[in-house]
Each structure stands twice: as C-alpha cells, then as structure tokens.
Amino acid sequence: MKREFAVIGLGRFGGSVCRELSREGMEVLAIDTTESKVNEFRNIASHAVIADATDEKVLKELGIRNIDHVIVAIGEDIQASILTTLMLKELGIKKITVKAQNDYHEKVLIKIGADQVIHPERDMGKKIAHSIISSNILDHLELSDDHSIVEIKASNKIVGRTLVDLDIRANYGCNVVAIKSGESKEINVSPMATERILDGDTLVIIGADKDISRFEKQLV
Ligand code: ATP
Ligand code: ATP
Ligand code: CA
C-alpha cells in the first residue's frame, strides 16, 4: 500500500528523506523554492514542485491537505520553518515531522503542535560521542531525557555468562531486550534467563541512562 508523504525543503536532510521514501515505493511530493533542487528530484519523487511553503495559498493549491504526513526540512530559515509548520497544523495535516535547527526552534515547534521534532545533527553527535567513549557501544537511541536503548558488544566480562548469573535486572535495573549473534547478526528478541552470551554477540539493552552507564562501567 502506497502512502502519501510530502517533503518540504530538499537540502541534504530533506533530500535524503525524500530519496529513501521514494526508494521504498512511497508516494512523495517534493517541494523546494530552489529550481535546481526541484530538478534534482524530478525523477526521484512522484511529484516535484518549485514552491514557497510559507505561502498558504500555494500549499492549498498543491492539495497538501490530502497528504497524511508532511516532513518540514527547511533548514537555516527558522522563521519559514515555523510559519510552514503552523500553516500545516491549521490545515489539519495528521502528522507533521519537523527538523529543528536548535533547542529554541525545537521548543517553538513543539508548542505549535509539531508531532515529531528531529534534530539530526545533535542526535548523531550524541551517538558518535557515545561510540567514541566506548568502542563497545555500537548504537544509542534516546527514548527520553533519561532513558535509552543501547547496543553493546559483549565484552570478555560477559562472554560465557548468562543473564541470570549476571542478574542484570536486579543488579543494574536494565533489561536485555534482544541479543544479536554472530556474523549474520541473527536476532533473538526474547532471550531466556539461562541463555549463554557468546563471543561476537551484541546485547540490546533498555534502561535509565544512569543504570546503563553503571552497566557499562562494570561490564563493558
Ligand atoms: P541540510 O543541512 O539538510 O543540507 P539545511 O538544514 O542546511 O539542510 P537549508 O539548505 O537551509 O537547510 O534548507 C533546506 C532546503 O529548504 C533548501 O533547499 C531551501 O531551498 C529549502 N527552503 C527554504 N525555505 C523554503 C520555503 N519557504 N519553502 C520551500 N523550501 C524552502
Ligand atoms: P525477576 O525476579 O527479576 O522478575 P524472573 O522471575 O523473571 O526475574 P528469570 O526470568 O529466571 O526470573 O530471570 C532471573 C534473573 O535473570 C532476573 O532477575 C534478571 O536479573 C536476569 N534476567 C533474566 N532475563 C533478563 C533480561 N532479559 N534482561 C535483564 N536481566 C534478565
Ligand atoms: Ca545544515
């Protein structure tokens, strides 16, 4: 089933979202004020149009109301991003995802009702920082200000042991939600307490940041 998306702003971020949605077979309306950007997406998106998204009349003419999910990826021009989001909201778009430029921008976007605010540079920066601090942290997904999901490469302190003998839940307050094994990264999404952790395994752990951090310090 094809779903309808619109991507407003075809910079590196919006362009990448548009490309990937299209590659996955989704219907995408691509919008940018710059002709060269729009031309770049003519053969990629279902429709690519030169338009200024801050113009309400233009948004209506494009039939944006019929689109389920709009991604606002206008970068530098924070004012245009906020105004566009506000109008999309007023037009009753069901789901609006907006790229924020900074924390103030993010606050305003949430206030005016953006359903999802993303901050790719900041979030990727955090991920990279975590993986730099510990080369065993393979991935880091922030769930809230103080909870995360991390992927941790099994260290030699863990290999050969089981969840029950490490007593992870009791000792660290974290849950191992999955174990990925071997080269193929075959994934076991409900590991048994008696499951033995093998060399090359990756643990996917959910918990409070302070608990995960304790786990990392002692077992990674
Ligand atoms: P990235 O970092 O993802 O490359 P950016 O955050 O630096 O992008 P910009 O290059 O500032 O973002 O803007 C992204 C795109 O948004 C640009 O291609 C720009 O032409 C487009 N854009 C800016 N204002 C509007 C607008 N009012 N309506 C539609 N598109 C717009
Ligand atoms: P609990 O008494 O903590 O509810 P349980 O009765 O479910 O545990 P088991 O499932 O046998 O007992 O697990 C025993 C212990 O093994 C748990 O207390 C926990 O410390 C650890 N453990 C088991 N599964 C996990 C998991 N997925 N993540 C983290 N720790 C686990
Ligand atoms: Ca940028």
Regarding whether 103 and 133 lie in a shared domain, the answer is no
Residue 97 forms beta bridges with which residues?
71, 116
Which domain does 34 fall in, by range? 4-118
Residue 68 to residues 93, 97, 158, Cα–Cα distance (Å): 6, 11, 46
pLDDT digits (tens, 9 = 90+) for 172-208: 999 999 999 977 778 999 999 998 999 999 999 999 9
Shared domain for 184 and 197, answered yes or no, is: yes
| Ligand 2 close to Cβ of residue 205 (< 6 A) | no
- Ligand at minimal distance from the CA of 70 is 1
Distance (Å, whole) CA 130 – CA 152: 11
ipTM: 0.67
Same-domain check for residues 114 and 128: no
pLDDT band at residue 42 using 50, 70 and 90 as cut-offs: very high
- pLDDT of 12: 95
Q: Output the residue whose Cα is nearest ligand 1's atom 14.
A: 11
* Whether residue 104 sits in one domain with residue 74: yes
Residue-wise pLDDT for 64-107, tens only, equals 999 999 999 998 999 999 999 999 999 999 999 999 999 999 99
Q: Are residues 186 and 165 in the same domain?
A: yes
Range 155-166 average pLDDT: 94
Residue 199 CA, ligand 2 centroid: distance in Å:
21
**Distance (Å) from CA 91 to ligand 3 centroid:** 27
What integer pLDDT is reported at residue 1 of this predicted model? 56
Write b or e for each residue in 195-219: b if 16 or more Cβ atoms lie within 10 A of its Cβ, otherwise e. Answer: bebeeebbbbbbbbbebbebbbeeb
Distance (Å, whole) CA 111 – CA 219: 41
Count the domains in the chain. 2
Question: Rounded CA gap, 98 and 75, in Å?
Answer: 10
Task: Tell me how far the alpha carbon of residue 37 lies from the centroid of ligand 1, in angstroms.
Answer: 10
> Does residue 132 sit in the same domain as residue 96?
no
Indicate which CATH number applies to the domain containing 88: 3.40.50.720
> Which ligand is in closest contact with the Cα of 164?
2
Pair 56, 87 in one domain: yes
* 149 Cβ contact partners less than 8 Å away, ≥ 6 residues apart: 140, 141, 143, 177, 204, 205, 206
Q: Give the domain-ending residue among 87, 118, 149.
A: 118
